[in-house]
Amino acid sequence: MKIALILAAGGQGRRFGRNKQLFLHKNKPLFIHTIEKFQKQKIGQLIIAAGEAKKFQRLLEKYKIKGAAVVAGGVERCDSIRHGLAALRGDITHVFIHDGARPNVTDSLVARLKKALRKHAAVIPVIPVADTIKVVKNNKILATPRRAELFAAQTPQCFRKDIILKAYAKINPQNCTDDAMLVEKLGLPVYTVPGEADNIKITTREDLKYIV
């Protein structure tokens, strides 16, 4: 298994108030914290999709992150991922797609994903939804799904390379809210492993206190 990690780092950070990927937390940009969590893993190729490619490249050099490639981020997240997929080497067999602003990924979570990938072509981490969810239209509740069947999706979302390339080639990603949904629309199964409550996506500055 030869894994590439595509880090989605092209967002504008509107709710954060600036590009959160470049925000210094404990003297390091947020996206560097995220990359460092993967350094113990056997990652064959690291690709960062970022809006300010030259700035990101300089920071990778400053923090001694070797062997990383920076590709241009797109207008939408799906455009950034498409650019990352286009940069995959021929020897890569599997792809991890992860949010640059999700710096709490653990070795144990990655190990669960790798183990599941030996059996399945598409795997994502999920956590149970704690609240009761309502389906609402025009201020009227249409349905209350069974909470036991509801889970929140996290990243890294992991795929066999040929599957995720086919999904991006055949499905319009503009209508999908995550990468797994593209594979679902191909009619292929996506399996899950237990995610982790600490594996949050940094959205506002208040969230920085949860970085571990």
Q: For tokens 């995610």, what's the residue?
A: 195
3-state secondary structure 144-196: CCCHHHCEEECCCEEEEHHHHHHHHHHCCHHHCCCHHHHHHHCCCCCEEEECC
Euclidean distance between CA atoms 208 and 211, whole angstroms: 6
Task: Write phi, then psi, for 30 (nearest 5 degrees).
Answer: -55, -40
Would the pLDDT of 158 be above 70?
A: yes
Predicted TM-score (pTM) of the model is 0.93
- Give 57-77 pLDDT, tens digit per residue: 999 999 999 889 999 887 788
2-29 pLDDT per residue, tens: 999 999 987 665 656 567 888 888 899 9
Cβ atoms of residues 212 and 191 within 8 Å? no
Q: What is the pLDDT at residue 17?
A: 54
Of 3.20.20.70, 3.40.1360.10, 3.90.550.10, 3.30.70.2190, which CATH number belongs to 3-122+154-210?
3.90.550.10
Say if CB 135 and CB 147 are below 8 A apart. no
Split at pLDDT 50, 70, 90, the class of 37 is very high
